Each structure stands twice: as C-alpha cells, then as structure tokens.
C-alpha cells in the first residue's frame, strides 16, 4: 500500500520553490500552510507528489492587513 504525503513549499524571491515540510494528510498540510504563512508572509503551496498537482495555495496578498 502506498502511503500518501504532501509537500509544503514556499516560493523564494526568484520564484523557486523551497521545500519546508512533508506531512501525511491534506488536512494537516492545510493547517501547517496557514501556520507558516501567518508567521512569514509569502507564497506557499501544498504539492501532491502522487498526482503532480498543487492541491492548496496561499498568496502573500491574503495575509496583508488593509
């Protein structure tokens, strides 16, 4: 049986993705994404390596205070 995992990444200033964490389920990935983004604004996303798709994303604009 294949185990699922999700990669949490952040884009650096040049747009290159940097791996921050690997978690076992999508709910945990989304929670961790929110936690990371609240600490340091930026462009974050969750990648599913089994399907090669981004399954959740948070952009810096979502964290700016107006």
Tens digits of per-residue pLDDT, 3-29?
689 999 999 999 999 999 999 999 999
Residue 7: what pLDDT?
Answer: 97
Confidence band, pLDDT 50/70/90 cuts, at residue 62:
low
pTM: 0.82
- Per-residue burial over 21-55, b if 16 or more Cβ lie within 10 Å, else e, is bebeeeeebbebbeebbeeeebbbbbbbeeeeeee
């Amino acid at each position: 049986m294949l185990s699922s995992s999700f990669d949490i990444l952040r884009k650096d200033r040049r747009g290159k993705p940097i791996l921050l964490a690997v978690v076992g389920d999508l709910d945990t990935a989304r929670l961790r994404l929110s936690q990371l983004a609240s600490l340091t604004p930026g462009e974050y996303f969750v990648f599913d390596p089994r399907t090669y798709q981004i399954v959740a994303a948070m952009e810096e604009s979502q964290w700016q205070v107006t």
